Structure 1
Amino acid sequence: MNLQLILGNFALILFVAMVVTGIIWFLDIFYFAKQRRIAADKALAAIDDRSAKLTAEGLKVDTIDRATIEAALLRQPTWIEYSGSFFPVIALVFVLRSFLYEPFKIPSSSMVPTLLVGDLILVNKFTYGIRLPVINKKVIEVGDPQRGDVMVFKYPKDMSQDYIKRVIGVPGDKIVYENKRLTVNGKPVAYTQMDDYLDDERPIYHKQLVENLAGVPHRVLNTENKPGIEVASVENFARRELCDFSYEKFSCTVPAGNYLMMGDNRDNSLDSRYWGFVPDKNIVGKAFFVWMNFSNPKRIGGIN
């Protein structure tokens, strides 16, 4: 699932805008404002000298509103005024979305029923460590992704795209997906059958189950007459030799520093079964809250 940023994918643009407006803001404080003060003092001194000269010559002196003249001379140029106004706002947004929370919009159905098309979600940027903005390099360790987490990450095949899936395997795990059921390190994952799920986009019912992965229960969907994996669609990816594929079975050993991801809409999700593992350097954050869906306001709430 290729996520869409609420404000657009513009981390670099936002950073450049913050730097440019910040430089103008600081220059105005430490240079431009002082230059305007000097210019204003000279102009007012010239006015005072002229008034004194006219008075000495016995001529009538025009009434001058020195405060108005001074305010006009000290007024910031429009481009400086706007830069100074925008800088704190841009800086605040940049810090919030780089280190704390980032908004995304769900554009497709690969995470149904957990996340629906149109869900506006928040992603915690510090759960898995503090990372430098733009280059996404981790500088402070905080925590690691856990099985069952819903995680946003950079798509390994195209780092400009953000994807969202569920963490199925962490480094060192042996994951088997056979007959649409998971086994983790030799232990079958527990499933509970639910009523069938009616597709929101098409008049199709999907089998719905509760999957309890590492103590994190969540709903998943299966589609009849679809295999657990389309072997012909599997790509060549890094460390593919750690995986085995067949029509109804997929197994992988997750290498160090990587994660295996799958969508909850299992038969309608292009995920690690097809394009491989997600390196730690690709992690964006943990999805934790749906803050709005304009088509369905009842969607507001936490993400399981």
Structure 2
Amino acid sequence: MNSLKDIKLASLFSFTKKGKQQRKKSPVREWIDAIVFAVVVATFVRWLIFTPYKIPTPSMEKTLLVGDYLIVSKLHYGAKTPQTPLQIPLASNFIWGTKIPSYLTWIQLPVYRLPGFSEIKNNDVVVFHFPDELEFPSDGRTPYIKRCIAIPGDTLQIKEKLPYINNMAQPIPPRMQTSYLVKTQQNIKDRVFWRYDITDVQRLNGGYIIQTSEDKVKKLQELPFIDEIQELKHEAGAAEPDAFPKSEELHWNADFMGPIYIPKRGDKIAINHETLAIYKDVIKNHEHNEEVEIKGDELYIEGKLIREYTFKLDYYFMMGDNRHNSLDSRYWGFVPSDHIIGKAVFTWWSVNEHESWFNLSDKIRWDRIFKAIK
């Protein structure tokens, strides 16, 4: 037989349990829980599966246009672990609307890459961190997008703007652009060039420099106010001061370069005057070596003279499809494998920044929505 004390304790326990079951979260708490959950899921998706990217410059026109919004797959090549794990979720390199870094460098970890279902291939369109921003950790550097011209183990040579891989000419991207000088005595309005889908235009005295393709040049030449159109290109042996690897002895330029061997992990090279001219920046800045010192034609790592060097990473050579208006590997060299973000797979949205939102039919590029990138 239950005592009065047992009955009272049972009633109190039942009341307390019932009260807990009926207690509801406040609307504010529900919103906070939903936002936290969404941020966690979005952060996981961006790190492991895909990330969005917007085209900010014309370096890939007309394959990709300024105002294109892309989906970049991280499943293709495999997601990489962060070097700086203390980051604000969903932020880029800086906190929104400021120049304050969105990460802290208190903890920096080695970068590892998860397995992907494909390797980077020649002519893939790839998003990567700009390797020349040495003041930032690798995952805090600006994202760039270019076409991968050469992969580890390739020997690249550029002749008359055309890349050759292992002595074989490579296919020209179908929308590749290059520079032309348009000579005219008239002031040509922008809309005339836009009519021919020419948006990269620079005005000069007595003409214009445009970035376009050969088929569009033929149409422009038919206009009565165009006097002449000349293709602009570098000559073989005419050194371009900013061209990789910035050696006065090589006399390379953006249209004539190489041959260049693209390093592969495990490759060994003899250290001498010629190899240091091309690979010294890679060894010093991207191979995670300590105390690298170059004295003349000699390489020292942690005070030890190195006569033969073994590469620790794979490297890639990237070029923009807008060949004469692209800052790419022809100027700053190789892209290390631990800088690769992912493969650009399709555009999910595209807007023309030259048009008004009051003209939606031209503002939104409907034909580019969900378009595969080739």
- The structure that is helix-richer by fraction is 1
| Map of 2:51 onto structure 1 | 102
Q: Note closer, same or farther for the CA distance 1:247–1:107 as it changes in structure 2 (3 Å cut).
A: closer
Q: How does 1:143-162 map to 2 (within 5 A)?
A: 143-158=118-133, 159=138, 160-162=141-143
| Map of 1:302 onto structure 2 | 372
Question: How far has the Cα of 1:153 moved from its partner?
Answer: 0.4
Aligned to 1:102, what secondary structure does the other structure show? strand
Aligned counterpart for 1:186 among listed residues 143, 153, 167:
167
Q: How does 1:71-82 map to 2 (within 5 A)?
A: 74-76=23-25, 80-82=29-31
Question: How far has the Cα of 1:133 moved from its partner?
Answer: 4.7
Aligned to 1:233, what secondary structure does the other structure show? coil
Q: How does 1:19-58 map to 2 (within 5 A)?
A: none
Q: What is the distance in 2 between the residues matched to 1:275 and 1:192?
A: 22
| Map of 2:153 onto structure 1 | 172
Whether the aligned pair in 1 keeps the contact of 2:316 and 2:337 (CA below 8 Å) is yes
Question: How far has the Cα of 1:189 moved from its partner?
Answer: 2.5
Aligned to 2:51, what secondary structure does the other structure show? strand
Q: What is the distance in 2 between the residues matched to 1:195 and 1:258?
A: 24
Is 1:225 paired with 2:237?
A: no
What is the one-letter code of the residue matched to 2:318? M
Q: What is the distance in 2 between the residues matched to 1:121 and 1:84?
A: 29
What is the one-letter code of the residue matched to 2:367? K
What is the one-letter code of the residue matched to 1:83? I
Deviations 1:155-175 (A, max 9, x none): 101242100000100011111
Is 1:287 paired with 2:287?
A: no
Q: Note closer, same or farther for the CA distance 1:131–1:73 as it changes in structure 2 (3 Å cut).
A: same
Q: Note closer, same or farther for the CA distance 1:85–1:260 as it changes in structure 2 (3 Å cut).
A: same
Q: What is the distance in 2 between the residues matched to 1:119 and 1:194?
A: 15
5+ residue gaps, structure 2, are: 1-11, 85-110, 178-195, 202-207, 216-229, 265-313, 353-364
RMSD: 3.6
Whether the aligned pair in 1 keeps the contact of 2:45 and 2:51 (CA below 8 Å) is yes
Q: Note closer, same or farther for the CA distance 1:79–1:137 as it changes in structure 2 (3 Å cut).
A: farther
Question: How far has the Cα of 1:289 moved from its partner?
Answer: 0.2
Question: How far has the Cα of 1:124 moved from its partner?
Answer: 0.6
| Map of 1:127 onto structure 2 | 76
Whether the aligned pair in 1 keeps the contact of 2:50 and 2:71 (CA below 8 Å) is yes
Q: What is the distance in 2 between the residues matched to 1:78 and 1:193?
A: 54
Question: How far has the Cα of 1:234 moved from its partner?
Answer: 2.8
| Map of 2:185 onto structure 1 | none
What is the one-letter code of the residue matched to 2:198? D
Q: What is the distance in 2 between the residues matched to 1:153 and 1:206?
A: 25
Deviates more, 1:74-83 or 1:139-148: 74-83
Aligned to 1:82, what secondary structure does the other structure show? helix
Question: How far has the Cα of 1:194 moved from its partner?
Answer: 8.7
Deviations 1:69-94 (A, max 9, x none): x5899344666433322222112211
Deviates more, 1:108-117 or 1:139-148: 139-148
Question: How far has the Cα of 1:140 moved from its partner?
Answer: 2.5
Q: State the identity %.
A: 30
| Map of 1:207 onto structure 2 | 213
| Map of 1:278 onto structure 2 | 335
Aligned to 2:59, what secondary structure does the other structure show? coil
What is the one-letter code of the residue matched to 2:199? D
| Map of 1:51 onto structure 2 | none
Q: How does 1:3-22 map to 2 (within 5 A)?
A: none
Aligned pair count? 226
What is the one-letter code of the residue matched to 1:293? S
Is 1:254 paired with 2:262?
A: yes
Whether the aligned pair in 2 keeps the contact of 1:207 and 1:224 (CA below 8 Å) is no
What is the one-letter code of the residue matched to 1:115? L
- The structure that is strand-richer by fraction is 1
Aligned to 1:168, what secondary structure does the other structure show? strand
Deviations 1:14-73 (A, max 9, x none): xxxxxxxxxxxxxxxxxxxxxxxxxxx79x67xxxxxxxxxxxxxxxxxxxxx9xx5899
Q: Note closer, same or farther for the CA distance 1:172–1:194 as it changes in structure 2 (3 Å cut).
A: closer
| Map of 1:21 onto structure 2 | none
Whether the aligned pair in 2 keeps the contact of 1:194 and 1:208 (CA below 8 Å) is no
Q: What is the distance in 2 between the residues matched to 1:78 and 1:188?
A: 64
Q: What is the distance in 1 between the residues matched to 2:330 and 2:336?
A: 15
TM-score using structure 2 length: 0.52
Aligned to 1:130, what secondary structure does the other structure show? coil
Q: What is the distance in 2 between the residues matched to 1:191 and 1:253?
A: 21
